[in-house]
């Protein structure tokens, strides 16, 4: 099967890292295609950039013209998953929700460790809407921006480990979710430092996407995610115009 994994920001090196992490998690026979949006912010850290990414991700997927079996939106706490579900027949998995769903199989409560403090409310809101917040002990910020994760991995691990340890000790988290696509690959290291299972959202999403494809399950089309009604769409982006 072929799974598209779409980065939410326009930095190619993050797409590469995400795709590599996805490939490491994929089963034999699963092809991972990493996609970078054609427009938007170099890193997504707030509502404006996230809304723009929502459209850019839809645009990128719609303009991909090969067959595929499932789509992963690889942004933590970002907008747009519902729109993709309307537009596509293939199943769609968001890494925020994938990580939470998997974490809930492993411990009584989980925490998310993310990048900047300003993204915490976005993640909290996504988990609330997804109905996956009841067992969320906390969403904690390491204080590092997305691009800093790439620039200084050692410091990134240190600050993430610190927040993960506080989540376990103070918030009674039993599982840690890595709350940023750019954190892909850090999970085993952090697991060693904290003693609790660490769920990487990209890996979790790959596993869930493969699961849906194998189970032949697709998005329900009867109400919320019914295809958009045929109507005139003006202007931009070209992929949407009718």
Contacts to its own copies from residues 80-139, by CB under 8 A: 80, 82-83, 85-87, 91, 93, 97, 101-102, 104-109, 117-118, 120-122, 125, 128-135
Give the sheet arrangement for strand 110-114, strand by strand. 136-141, 110-114, 175-178, 198-200
CA distance 203 to 98: 9
CB nearer its own copies, residue 157 or residue 187: 187
Stretch that binds its own copies, among 148-156, 157-165, 166-174, 178-186 (CB under 8 A): 166-174
Residues 6 or more apart whose CB falls under 8 angstroms from that of 65 comprise none
Of 72, 67, 95, 96, nearest in space to 84 by CA: 72
Distances (CA, A) of 219 to 14, 58, 222, 225: 28, 16, 9, 7
What are phi and psi for residue 31, nearest 5 degrees?
Answer: -95, 130
Dihedral, 85, 137, 187, 153 alpha carbons, nearest 10:
100
Tell the smallest beta-carbon distance from residue 154 to its own copies (Å): 23
CB nearer its own copies, residue 153 or residue 237: 237
CB nearer its own copies, residue 66 or residue 223: 223
Residue 225 binds its own copies (CB under 8 A): yes
Q: Which of residues 26-85 bind its own copies (CB under 8 A)?
A: 27, 38-43, 45-52, 54-56, 58, 79-80, 82-83, 85
Residue 224 binds its own copies (CB under 8 A): yes
CB nearer its own copies, residue 134 or residue 154: 134
Q: What is the DSSP letter of 204?
A: H
Tell the smallest beta-carbon distance from residue 140 to its own copies (Å): 11
Task: Give the burial class of 131: count Cβ atoms within 10 A of its Cβ; 0-12 exposed, 13-18 middle, 19 or more buried.
Answer: exposed
CB nearer its own copies, residue 33 or residue 47: 47
Tell the smallest beta-carbon distance from residue 66 to its own copies (Å): 21
CA distance 219 to 118: 31
Q: Which of residues 185-204 bind its own copies (CB under 8 A)?
A: 195-197, 199, 203-204
Residue 237 binds its own copies (CB under 8 A): yes
């Amino acid at each position: 099967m072929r799974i598209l994994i779409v980065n939410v920001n326009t930095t190619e090196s993050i797409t590469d890292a995400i795709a590599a992490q996805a490939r490491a998690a994929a089963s034999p026979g699963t092809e991972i295609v990493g996609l970078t949006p054609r427009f938007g912010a170099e890193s997504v850290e707030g509502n404006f950039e996230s809304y723009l990414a929502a459209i850019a991700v839809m645009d990128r997927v719609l303009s991909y013209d090969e067959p595929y079996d499932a789509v992963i939106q690889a942004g933590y706490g970002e907008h747009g998953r519902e729109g993709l579900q309307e537009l596509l027949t293939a199943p769609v998995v968001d890494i925020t929700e994938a990580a939470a769903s998997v974490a809930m199989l492993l411990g009584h409560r989980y925490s998310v460790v993310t990048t900047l403090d300003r993204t915490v409310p976005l993640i909290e809101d996504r988990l609330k809407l997804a109905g996956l917040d009841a067992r969320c002990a906390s969403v904690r910020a390491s204080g590092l921006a997305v691009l800093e994760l790439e620039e200084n991995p050692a410091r990134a691990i240190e600050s993430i480990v610190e927040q993960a340890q506080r989540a376990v000790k103070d918030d009674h988290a039993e599982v840690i979710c890595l709350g940023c696509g750019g954190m892909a690959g850090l999970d085993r290291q952090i697991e060693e430092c904290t003693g609790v299972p660490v769920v990487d959202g990209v890996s979790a999403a790959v596993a869930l996407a493969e699961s849906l494809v194998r189970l032949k399950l697709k998005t329900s089309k009867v109400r919320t995610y019914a295809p958009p009604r045929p109507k005139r769409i003006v202007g931009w982006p070209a992929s949407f115009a009718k």
